[in-house]
Structure 1
């Protein structure tokens, strides 16, 4: 019988905005979650393409550059290098980190031109916030005000708090994010839009099929959005920063940065596949329906509307050409010392600074066990030191010392030790629990990290129960075998501690050879 080939997984870490380096809050959400899942899939024998790049066209880049006296090109170029280095330093196993270049821009234009040729866009006259001082329209990251849905302070386009869109002139009490004293009015402009209401039935059915695999907050937002008329999605804007729109109806306008999202990740996937040695005719090749790839999104909750609704509608508008995302794994906000991360106020911790004080395995473990999966959680330096020290470092070092003492002088360094059937059964049970944490139906970094803690405590108790006066090869073999199993399950998170011991997510072998467990250093943070 011919084995059924598993679908290739396209793991999408949504491209970060290139208006500065990544801080710990960024890493605690989609970045670590995507990396852990990609590592798990590879260890389980799946083909994976894990990729990202940067989102240079966002108006947040323009606003940040103006506030810092830079050109947006300078800021985005510098940020691209910083972000790539941060992801590398934190061990993110990206197959490719794509550049923002002419190839990228061509991929975006190919995607939108195909939709324009099919007549998918509509010309609309809308009212947009307008700066009387500069004579320019203020959209997305250039404007802030009060959300018309939840009344909380919001940027243009989308409310980070409730997740609902605020299109055009819907923001209450609008202000410029660059100059709060600027007089902001509203003026009419003709732009192209995607009429989202035309995709209501398809979107409703899409989420009906996937609702059981989504996190509750995502389900709530989707239900709320679909319970009211779907607003038109802007395809072009009359602003200066972005890719020039190629459409004759909107001369001088640019493509809305949020429209770039889908062709951007297609381009990133194509670039990453190229780094893996593959050759494809086009950057969107692996997304085409005939290849039946499993597309998996890891995103912050504040991006669910765009990535989960408008972007899915853009894919649907291509009339079956592409696969649709199989699953969306969202996360909530991560605070710093119980306050929101704020680069402008200096309330921020960058991973490059933290890595000077703490090993990346401890950082990854702490970010996993405190991950903001279903509610807002918090990063604290003292908490990092205590949690990693008490739950990981001390018990691991205790286990390492006990095993070292058990084999010292016994000549067992290269002697195969027997493994009992019971130890194999326990190992299979442990890996089954880790699979439950890493599979998408019940994906949870927090539970995976807690499982590491619980299994480590169990193994310490077993090591403490070893006889002191004699060497029990059977019990010692079982213990080393189960320690290796723990490292296999923990490997997607503890990438350095588990490095080199196992690259397959399975239980195998009737014997095991004793190996040295490296000691961990407790975190000392300032």
Structure 2
């Protein structure tokens, strides 16, 4: 299959820099898949940006004494630098600018003109002191479904929406002592129930590519009435809504998602020499692109339901996502990552002491694919030292010694058929980890570690040099999407058919704390 692939790393909210928990989730997973596809020869556009319209930016800025614009711009630069430092191979990191805003309106305005939105009078939390409606990141309370603490719009714990006045005991996130009441407001919504049949069929066809928790959430959501999705809100932060029914309102930041990633795709394509005539060009149905989302479980409802319904509302004009690869939360030393409580590790700080490949290996090995997992500095040092650095350096030393003793430097060595078969078997196992039907960074990282002892034993036993180097090269090609520095020159994702191979020097890996 040579369909173009659009890899979507859902845009992070620019209310601060990314921490290690963010990287271990969708960012590492998306990067590894994009690198794998490129190594197989697939055309790829891998993109993201930031969603500055989120009310979380407004709330965080007020707490920090900044304007939302100041916080958004500062965070945009920090996030871009962190992703680059961690080796996340984005083709483009799109700015939040007038072109972004225009792309959003170009996507939503035709839906309004076609009558896809409805006017609804809905009850919204209201701060009596400030005279502000409280939505999304401006309000918190308890989820009406699972009774866990939640912000407005969506519960991170159970994944279900909590629209309008459904939060229990609502309170302002910025002024917690202010009295919160409820007032009616007339807004525009997308009637989600009208897309139930299409959404049911959409998930029936894609269930085999979804992780179990996502499948469970989808079934729960479809077993209940699908609530209307707010397209506009009576708040002052965001893109002004141009619709006559809702004067003075702004676009709900979550309604920006699809046009935002279309714009990000176009921006990234331009960075790699693929000019576009329109920001939605790569998403047009006639392009037949494979769209893959990498996303935290807490965003499944918005990206997997409301955004897909918005695409469906365009009646076949655009492709729909082929796969949604979700992840759970990543903890720090068995506690939740929390910037406000100081329980956080930033990649920029970790990279000063730990080589990038070691961080990526450990994050891949411990990625929260199916349940909450944990980052620990002591565990990082122990695991990467014993499972990666020590056996790799042992292998490098043994091969270097064998080449010197045999006088084989610069001389091609024959490759036995058995070695070619083993190399192909290795890459088949990596392929099973990187393809979407069974995508798993955990298994890929574990497989890297599991192959090293076997190769060390072969080198210790004096195995054929040509075969050993051929297998090591295959291992590097399979590991390259994760170990981006070690595998920088590994070559395409294939074993090759050569009958002879030149010995090559294996670089040594430094341990954590030895930079």
2:498 to 506, 509, 515: 509
Aligned residue number for residue 419 of structure 2: 423
User: Which residue number in structure 1 is paired with residue 141 of structure 2?
Assistant: 145
Asked if 1 retains the 8 angstrom alpha-carbon contact of 2:469 and 2:501, the reply is: yes
1:400 alignment partner in structure 2: 396
Q: How many residues align?
A: 515
Alignment-derived partner of residue 184 in structure 2 = 188
The equivalent residue for 2:485 is 496
Alpha-carbon shift at residue 411 of structure 1 (Å): 2.9
* Residue number in structure 2 paired with 1:369: 365
Match of 2:124 in 1: 128
CA shift, 1:409, in A, is: 4.8
Indicate which of 476, 494, 501 corresponds to 2:465: 476
* 2:478–2:493 contact (8 Å) kept in structure 1: no
1:55 corresponds to 2:57: no
Q: Is the 8 A contact 2:480 2:490 kept in 1?
A: no
Corresponding residue for residue 522 of structure 1: 511
CA contact (8 A) 2:420 2:495 kept: no
Number of the residue aligned with 1:67: 63
- Look up the match of 1:339: 335
What corresponds to 1:487 in structure 2?
476
Aligned to 1:43: 39
Q: For 1:13, which of 3, 9, 13 is the aligned residue?
A: 9
SS in 2 for 1:128: strand
Which whole-Å CA distance do the structure 2 matches of 1:118 and 1:27 have between them? 40
- What does the per-residue CA deviation read over 1:140-172, in whole Å, with 9 as the maximum and x for residues that have no partner? 001100000000000000000000000000000
Map of 1:99-498 to 2, 5 A cutoff? 99-466=95-462, 475-498=464-487
Distance in structure 2 (CA, Å) of the matches to 1:525 and 1:329: 35
What is the TM-score of this pair, normalised by structure 2?
0.99
CA distance in 2, matches of 1:233, 1:115: 14
Could you tell me how far 1:525 is from its partner in structure 2?
Answer: 9.0
Secondary structure class of the residue paired with 1:54: coil
Provide the secondary structure at the position in 2 that maps to 1:415. coil
Report the alpha carbon displacement of residue 212 of structure 1 after superposing the two structures with TM: 1.3
1:497 and 1:237 map into 2 onto residues whose CA distance is 49
User: Could you give the per-residue CA deviations for residues 426-464 of structure 1, whole angstroms, max 9, x where no partner exists?
Assistant: 110100000000000000000000000111111011111
Q: Aligned in 2, Cα 1:525/1:407: closer, same or farther, shift over 3 Å?
A: closer
8 Å CA contact retained: 1:382, 1:525 = no
1:469 maps to what in 2?
Answer: none
Q: Distance in 1 between matches of 2:116 and 2:392?
A: 58
Deviations 1:180-238 (A, max 9, x none): 11111111100000000000000001001111111010010010000010000000000
Q: How many Å separate the matches in 1 of 2:115 and 2:485?
A: 52
Contact 1:96 1:271 in 2 (8 A): yes
Give the 3-state SS of the residue equivalent to 1:329 in structure 2. Answer: strand
| Root-mean-square deviation (Å) | 1.1
Following TM superposition, by how much is the alpha carbon of 1:339 offset from its aligned partner in structure 2, in angstroms? Answer: 0.3
Q: Structure 2: how far apart are the matches of 1:215 and 1:355? A: 31
What SS does the aligned partner of 1:408 have? helix
> Secondary structure in 1 aligned to 2:488?
coil
Greater shift, 407-416 or 78-87, is seen at: 407-416
CA distance in 1, matches of 2:359, 2:173: 33
Contact 2:229/2:306 (<8 A) preserved: yes
Query: Aligned partners of 1:354 and 1:508: how far apart in 2?
Result: 40
What secondary structure is seen at the aligned counterpart in 1 of 2:336? coil
1:129 and 1:414 mapped to 2: Cα distance? Answer: 74
Counterparts of 2:135 and 2:225, CA distance in 1: 22
